[in-house]
């Protein structure tokens, strides 16, 4: 029996590997273009780490005029969940992560598909056959019991675990022995015939982590499983070769697979792509850094940000500050630039895990929201409320123009107010603007807090208040009212001679502010009063006087 016939006996498929090499020609792209992929397994929701990885992969290819494709790695069918693929695509699209090629909601897009590994069985088998013909792979008939038996002995003797060297029982089977086992109907899988020596180290250069050394792989890893699908390792090598990936960009939990992956590329006769292993986002626990965990940390779920109402765009900026530490500085220096213009650099990516910085996220979010138009803030607030606070949503809808005007206070100007951090808190920031919500439980009086003084301030102010005032006359009237009660109209003068006055114009206007909103800190009081209109202003002040 020739080795070709032997390979045909072991692995059944349609086309040989040359057919596939011809089917997927090399990509014709400009020099330096990065072909990258995002290659998730459809095992659950998209978490923050996955979003971060896909963002970097997507952006690195875009900024080099390359290609980024979505490949679904579903060779482990036991872990695949229903609608997993749709969820990934939809979740990423919310963050503007769309792919040039790959799996889409309407099937595959691109010339290098299928992009779903479970549909590529024939392709993998063609290359597995090639390995068998070249005596680089062999069938393994070991049963669960045999494997467990060896594993226990290795553990007992404190030896390295796995299927290698003398432990690789089936490696020594002759062709005749294999043929007779197959004729007996014995089940088998296919393993790689590793030529590696664990005591030899090889050099490896990661685009992010730099130069490293690894022991060679000597494990005869499984490449074709009993369900007739390849393992992830083999599929990754075959796919990235045929799909023309130049850069494998992925989480650094895959770094330990490098000896196997590099070896597979070599044994398959493929050019090895470049690898960029991304360090994780971490949190601190008991004084130690650990990777954000899908199971333990709410921040790991994208839904967490959705519920909080942190805009997706802000979250992406946050991730970009983690990806390249010079991004924040660039943003400061290029205030009006589109973040897409910033070029990510592998060399500036963190080598170790980065701590998740809540405060930074909040400040980025505030800054992001401050730059939105009032109508955009309104839409986001409404969308959030529709999902999480129906009553507030009704108010926003009922008073649409009024609400947009509220969100427009100190907005759409050079130095917009940066007070909204997320949409789950927005109601608690604007509630006093709506009579339906306004039930002050506590007036935050400041310096002027005696009943008599407050009453005096309010009664006096009502005499000076004119709802038709423009901002300047409004302020002049406030000042006149204050001065009439011996509050200093001029802050500088007040600072020099505080004892001459009952207080300052600031103390005086604070009483008005607190009477109207119950809060001592609000956006521009003139704007608030203008939006309130005469009746609401007078009613609320009279309410306090009473």
Rounded CA separation 541/535 (Å): 10
Q: Are 135 and 178 in contact (CB under 8 A)?
A: no
Residue among 99 and 501 whose Cβ is closer to ligand GLU: 99
Structure tokens at 174: 């002759």
- Candidate residues 16, 41, 80, 212; the one interacting with ligand GLU per rule CB under 6 A: 41
Which positions from 463 through 482 interact with ligand GLU, judged by CB under 6 A? none
The phi, psi pair for 275, rounded to 5°, reads -120, 140
Q: Does 252 bind ligand GLU (CB under 6 A)?
A: no
The alpha carbon torsion through 147, 148, 152, 157 (nearest 10 deg) reads 0
Stretch that binds ligand GLU, among 36-44, 179-187, 280-288, 467-475 (CB under 6 A): 36-44
Residue among 129 and 236 whose Cβ is closer to ligand GLU: 236
Stretch that binds ligand GLU, among 35-43, 183-191, 205-213, 431-439 (CB under 6 A): 35-43
Rounded CA separation 368/345 (Å): 23
Closest distance to ligand GLU from the beta carbon of 117 (Å) = 9
Which positions from 73 through 102 interact with ligand GLU, judged by CB under 6 A? 73
Residue 508 CB burial class (10 angstroms; 0-12, 13-18, ≥19): buried
* 429-454 burial code (b ≥16 CB/10 A, e <16): ebbbbbeeeeebeeeebeebeeeebb
Q: Are 257 and 232 in contact (CB under 8 A)?
A: no
Residue among 95 and 232 whose Cβ is closer to ligand GLU: 232
Q: Are 128 and 8 in contact (CB under 8 A)?
A: no
Q: Does 45 bind ligand GLU (CB under 6 A)?
A: no
Binding map of ligand GLU across residues 323-362, x = CB under 6 A, - = no contact: ----------------------------------------
Residue among 40 and 311 whose Cβ is closer to ligand GLU: 40
- Candidate residues 47, 129, 209, 250; the one interacting with ligand GLU per rule CB under 6 A: 250
Closest distance to ligand GLU from the beta carbon of 265 (Å) = 13
| CA separation, residue 492 to residues 496, 498, 510 (Å) | 6, 10, 18
- Candidate residues 202, 204, 254, 304; the one interacting with ligand GLU per rule CB under 6 A: 254
- Candidate residues 129, 236, 384, 513; the one interacting with ligand GLU per rule CB under 6 A: 236
Stretch that binds ligand GLU, among 39-47, 86-94, 177-185, 462-470 (CB under 6 A): 39-47
Pairing of strands 281-285, 354-355: parallel
Q: Are 236 and 62 in contact (CB under 8 A)?
A: no
Closest distance to ligand GLU from the beta carbon of 201 (Å) = 23
Residue among 237 and 380 whose Cβ is closer to ligand GLU: 237
Return contacts of 52-55, CB within 8 angstroms, 24+ apart. 52/278, 52/281, 52/319, 52/322, 52/323, 53/249, 53/250, 53/251, 53/278, 54/92, 54/97, 55/95, 55/97, 55/316, 55/319, 55/320, 55/323
Rounded CA separation 185/182 (Å): 5
Q: Does 264 bind ligand GLU (CB under 6 A)?
A: no
- Candidate residues 40, 66, 273, 311; the one interacting with ligand GLU per rule CB under 6 A: 40
Residue among 276 and 458 whose Cβ is closer to ligand GLU: 276
Number of chain positions touching ligand GLU (CB under 6 A):
9
Rounded CA separation 20/14 (Å): 11
Closest distance to ligand GLU from the beta carbon of 98 (Å) = 18
Question: Residues in the site for ligand GLU, rule: CB under 6 A?
Answer: 39-41, 73, 232, 236, 248, 250, 254
């Amino acid at each position: 029996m020739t080795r070709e016939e032997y390979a045909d006996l072991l692995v059944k498929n349609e086309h040989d590997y040359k057919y596939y090499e011809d089917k997927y020609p090399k990509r014709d792209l400009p020099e330096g273009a990065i072909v990258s992929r995002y290659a998730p397994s459809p095992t659950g929701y998209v978490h923050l780490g996955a979003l971060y990885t896909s963002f970097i992969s997507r952006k690195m290819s875009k900024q080099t005029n390359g290609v980024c494709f979505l490949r679904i790695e579903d060779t482990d069918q036991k872990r695949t969940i229903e609608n997993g693929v749709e969820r990934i695509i939809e979740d990423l699209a919310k963050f503007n992560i769309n792919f040039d090629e790959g799996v889409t909601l309407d099937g595959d897009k691109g010339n290098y598909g299928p992009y779903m590994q479970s549909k590529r069985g024939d392709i993998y088998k063609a290359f597995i056959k090639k390995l068998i013909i070249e005596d680089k792979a062999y069938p393994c008939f070991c049963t669960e019991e045999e494997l467990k038996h060896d594993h226990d002995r290795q553990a007992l003797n404190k030896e390295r675990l796995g299927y290698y060297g003398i432990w690789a029982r089936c490696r020594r089977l002759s062709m005749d022995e294999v043929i007779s086992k197959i004729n007996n109907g014995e089940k088998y899988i296919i393993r790689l015939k590793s030529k590696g020596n664990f005591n030899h180290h090889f050099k490896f250069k990661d685009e992010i982590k730099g130069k490293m050394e690894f022991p060679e792989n000597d494990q005869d890893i499984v490449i074709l499983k009993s369900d007739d699908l390849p393992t992830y390792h083999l599929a990754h090598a075959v796919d990235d070769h045929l799909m023309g990936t130049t850069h494998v960009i992925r989480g650094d939990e895959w770094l330990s697979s490098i000896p196997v992956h590099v070896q597979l590329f070599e044994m398959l006769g493929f050019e090895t792509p470049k690898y960029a292993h991304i360090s994780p986002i971490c949190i601190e626990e008991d004084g130690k850094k650990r990777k954000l965990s899908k199971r333990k940390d709410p921040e790991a779920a994208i839904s967490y940000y959705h519920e909080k109402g942190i805009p997706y765009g802000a979250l992406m900026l946050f991730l970009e500050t983690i990806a390249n530490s010079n991004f924040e500085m660039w943003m400061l220096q290029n205030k009006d630039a589109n973040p897409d213009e910033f070029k990510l650099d592998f060399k500036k990516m963190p080598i170790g895990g980065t701590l998740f910085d809540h405060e930074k996220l909040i400040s980025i979010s505030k800054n992001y929201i401050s730059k939105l138009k009032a109508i955009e803030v309104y839409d986001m607030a409404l969308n959030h409320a529709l999902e999480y606070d129906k009553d507030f949503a009704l108010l926003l809808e009922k008073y649409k123009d009024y609400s947009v005007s509220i969100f427009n206070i100190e907005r759409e100007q050079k130095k917009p107010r940066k007070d909204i951090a997320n949409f789950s808190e927005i109601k608690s920031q604007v509630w006093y603007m709506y009579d339906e919500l306004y039930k002050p439980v506590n007036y935050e009086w400041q310096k002027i807090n005696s009943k008599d003084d407050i009453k005096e301030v309010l009664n006096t102010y009502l005499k000076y208040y004119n709802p038709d005032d423009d901002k300047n006359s409004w302020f002049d009237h406030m000042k006149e009212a204050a001065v009439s009660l011996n509050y200093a109209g001029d802050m500088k003068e007040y600072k020099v001679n505080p004892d001459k006055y009952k207080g300052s114009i600031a103390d005086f206007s604070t009483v008005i502010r607190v009477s109207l909103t119950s809060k001592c800190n609000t956006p521009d009081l003139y704007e608030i009063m203008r939006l309130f209109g005469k009746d609401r202003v007078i009613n609320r002040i009279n309410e306090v006087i009473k």
